[in-house]
Amino acid sequence: MTEDDMSRSQRNRSAGATASRSGRQRGPKKKHLWRDVAIIAATLGALGLVAGGGLFAYYASSAPRISDSALHGTSQTQLLDSTGKTFYTTGNQTREVARQAEIPKILRQAVTSIEDRRFYKHHGVDPRRILGATVANITGSSLGLQGGSTLTQQLVKLTVFSTSAADQTLKRKAQEAYLATQVEKKYSKDQILTLYMNKVYMGNGVYGMKTAANYYFGKELDQLTVPQIALIAGLPQSPSGYDPYTNPKGALARRNNVIRAMQENKVISKADADRYVKVPINQGLKETHPETEKAEKDAKETDAYITSTLQELRRLGYDPAKDGLRVHTNLNSKVQKRAYDIANSDQYVIWPSDDLQVGLTVTNPNNGKVMAQIGGRKLDTTFGLNRAKQTSRSSGSTAKPLVDYGPAVEHLNWPTYRTVDDSPYTYPGTNVKVYDWDHKFEGKMTMRQALAESRNIPAIKTFVDVGNQNAAGFLDKLGIKVKASDLVTSNAIGIDVSSEQEAAAYSAFGNGGTYYKPYYISSVEEQSGDIKKFSPEGKEAMKSSTAFMLTNMMESVITDSYAKMVDTNAYSQAGKTGVTGYADDADVPDGAASDTWFTGLTKSATISVWTGYDEPNTPGHYLAKGSDQYLALKTYGALMDYIMQGGGLSDADGSDWTVPETVKQVTKYGKTEYEVRGASFKNPPLHKTFPSSEFSSSATSSSSAALRSSSTTSVLRSSSSQPQPQPNNQQEPTNPGGQNNNNQQAPQRGQGTQTTPPSQHPQSSDSQQSR
């Protein structure tokens, strides 16, 4: 072996030895690494448990108290008026509380089989159930057992917490679990189950399983068949979804799930289960419920207000049927009762037909509180269509302040005396001519006069000057959502809107330009004792100059056109009429209307009233010219008189609106007018195209409309009807309720009929496009 070979050999041995030593050292290092990871993981896990336990203990320490009386109490929700008096409680049936001995064993077994199979084994919280529910939700093999809450936890939730989204927090879940363990320490399993069965909501205004047995089957609990027991046991998970009256298919599926759960839990045999699932869902089901019908009848007076309040509760995340809330509302019960009496009797307004309907909303213009609401008259059922909130009927000329003149003052700085032109007009791109209610063209006039007389053509031309973007933006700030691209020329004299929306929008004129979203609930007291208060923040909708000038012009609508029908001396008020006419090919008399409106306000109240028929195309379902078309106005007048003269509000403010610093008072054409202070605007000259005697140049509070009212006739027509003037011999009906001057002739101005070509009408309107 050469010297070089020996050297290489030594180097190789040396390298091998080094490698061998390195290899021997790697093993312990790896072990140390995994040991360290395990120690760290264990430490973190322990810290997590400690932290989780600490957090749980912290949440548990702040859990609300749960009393014996609360556990035995109901989970019904109460609605209270503005004085704190209860006017509605969820639940149409008198709640019957079952004693523990009254509950048959098989019902207890049915409930636990479907809701909490390990009920008699856990101590209020069931970790295995939580894990099982998670797996079942993933695999879809749970027979409806998706919930992780035990029956004890559900009892706690029904007693203390709400279903509001705000309550679905880690804190609430921790408190619910803690309270469940405390309940388990104090009560036996059968006592807990009895409390749950007496409290749970069973649908159709029914609380408790004993009440449900009588409601659905007319039986006591121990008289129920197994399929009936299964139906009762399955209802609490979704009372409306499994309602055997409205959703028999869903009810059948749920009942059969309970039966199969009872089979799997060894409560019944497979043979019995197979037989029970074949029983029709309606076998033994009661068809009538007299007590429910009585409760619904008692709720008719506040029907619409109840409906709107419950809707608002649900929007806030609550379940009124289950959460046991005390809801303080803004309802003024005196105003509500008078509104109901006006709509449902002939004492204040003479109604031509029981089929004629009303939608009415009263708001406080200074904060958005809804004081009263009527959703219909002569109702056979409750909680049906709320016509006060329907947005499928055209507003007619009540749109003019919102779509035309309001934006004109806001964006173009038009003064109240700005010249507008009432001359022949044809809708662009059509041969459809626009007419006013009297089929006359009055030529140049002031904006105030055009609004007071409800001239259609000046309103349309104003809308064109304003533009779609400005009009849509103005509406949007008033809570009426519409795309600029969806507005068409005919919207100048009519938009689809509700009385609730108009009341809120007009309120912004009266309060100086602030929009308040109408709301029904002032506070909610939850079962836990938490009280949540509600009041929408007002948003600037327009300049103070716009608000005042539109209000002032709408005062002229009343003083110049309707002084004979509403009290103009007792208090200051402003408002606007609206009438929607039929197309000329409709089989109705000349001057007939499908919808009439009046929206008016004082400093203390805003009232918006719609009248019409649900099916205006049905023969005879039209509002004839004359007194029929003043029903909305007279309803407004009767109710506003009551509110302002001590009946509804003890502190009603009937004073006139104060001129803001942003507005300058001027004298034009012999009258007091107003303009935006410091603003520039274009004003065409006022060339009189009618006799000067019809437009007085002397200072007076009456417009040409009032001067002409004794010699002209009020003929309301659709856009293509031919004028047929005739003497007005019709007298206003006698009104014992306080309307003044009922023996005078009907007013001659201000009832501008919407004259809308079908191709130009907004898509959702039923005014003319279907006629």
Catalytic residue annotation: 115, 397
Torsion angle in degrees (nearest 10) through CA of 683, 685, 687, 693: 70
Alpha carbons 435 and 530: distance in angstroms, whole number: 59
What span, in angstroms and rounded, lies between the C-alpha atoms of 108 and 115?
A: 10
Around Cβ 213, how many Cβ atoms within 10 Å?
A: 24
| Pairwise CA distance, residues 92 & 294, whole Å | 8
Q: How far apart are the first and last CA of the chain?
A: 119
Question: How far from chain centre, in Å, is Cα 147?
Answer: 31
Please name the helix (run of DSSP H) or strand (run of DSSP E) that holds residue 326, with its range, or none: strand 326-329
Number of CB atoms found within 10 A of residue 684's CB = 10
Residue recorded with tokens 């121990």: 222
Residue 40's contacts (CB-CB under 8 Å, 6 or more residues apart) are none
Return the structure tokens found at 728: 């007005």
d(C-alpha 588, C-alpha 625), whole Å:
11
Q: Which two tokens stand for residue 212?
A: 């449900």
Q: Strand, coil or helix: what is 601?
A: strand
DSSP single-letter state for residue 93: S
Q: Which pair of structure tokens corresponds to residue 329?
A: 């509302």
Residues near 289 by beta carbon (within 8 Å), at least 6 away in sequence:
92, 93, 204, 215
Strands 574-581 and 753-754, by their bridges, are parallel
Nearest Cα to Cα of residue 768 among 582, 494, 490: 582
d(CA 562, CA 706): 9
Alpha carbons within 13 angstroms on the beta-carbon side of residue 502 total: 36
> DSSP characters for 114-165?
HH-TTTTTSSS--HHHHHHHHHHHHHT-STT------HHHHHHHHHT----G
- Write the DSSP assignment of 474-500 as a string of letters: HHHHTT----GGG--GGGGG--B--HH
Number of H helices, E strands in the chain: 22, 19
| Three-state secondary-structure class, residue 646 | coil
Report d(CA 750, CA 732) in Å as an integer: 16
Q: Are 736 and 612 in contact (CB under 8 A)?
A: no
Angle, in degrees to the nearest 10, between helices 226-234 and 105-115: 40
Separation between Cα atoms, residue 302 and residue 593, nearest integer Å:
29
Q: Are strands 326-329 and 521-525 parallel, antiparallel or unpaired?
A: antiparallel
147-151, Cβ contacts within 8 angstroms, sequence gap of 24 or more: 147/115, 147/237, 149/176, 150/116, 150/119, 150/122, 150/124, 150/125, 150/126, 150/180, 151/111, 151/112, 151/115, 151/116, 151/119, 151/192, 151/193, 151/196
- Integer Cα distance of 405 and 452 in angstroms: 12
Beta strands 326-329 and 78-80, pairing class: parallel
DSSP 267: S
Distance of alpha carbon 65 from the chain centroid: 34
